[in-house]
Amino acid sequence: MSTPSSSKSGWTTLIWVVVGLLAALWSGGAWLFSSLLSWVVDTASASPAADWAAVFKTWEPPPWLLQLSAWMGWGDVAQWQSLAQALMEGLSTSWPWLAEALSWLQPVLWVLWAVGVLALLVLGGVLHAWVRWMIRQSQPRPTSPQVVA
């Protein structure tokens, strides 16, 4: 039989484990996006967009990507390839200022990461307090002795 204190401990532990997992996913996504932004900035400064359009035009997708695309129902990989090529051709006019814009996006990304982690911590704290309050409310209250006059 579980006591109210062990029940509270289980619920609050579950809350903080879920908050920790969500924070780890959020942090991993921010790190991945930051790495992608760094790669794009480095690539943008090294080669013009016209070269990238040619790369997308001649790129042969690996067989596993074709199989994954068919299995996931994403459509033909050639359609995505032509979309990427058209995007790169369209970016060729804006490529020079893209590296400058991406350089200030990195700090913005980390500020958004901090706001997201802070929101997760606040949510965890609120849920923790709510569970403790609910458990306290469900416990029987001692009754005061009745005075008979």
Contact 113, 55 (CB under 8 A): no
Domain range list for the chain:
21-48+95-138, 52-91
Instruction: Give the residue among 108, 13, 100, 47 at the shortest CA–CA distance from 5.
Output: 13
Query: Helix 95-138 crosses helix 4-46 at what angle (to 10 degrees)?
Result: 180
pLDDT at 56: 67
Please, what is the average pLDDT of the chain?
Answer: 79
pLDDT mean over 101-111: 85
**What is the pTM assigned to this prediction?**
0.61
Q: Which of 18-22, 102-106, 128-132 has the lowest mean pLDDT?
A: 102-106
State the pLDDT confidence band at 1, using cuts at 50, 70 and 90.
Answer: very low
Q: How far is CA 38 from CA 17, 33, 35, 52, 103, in A?
A: 31, 9, 5, 17, 8
Q: Which residue has the tokens 């480095």?
A: 42
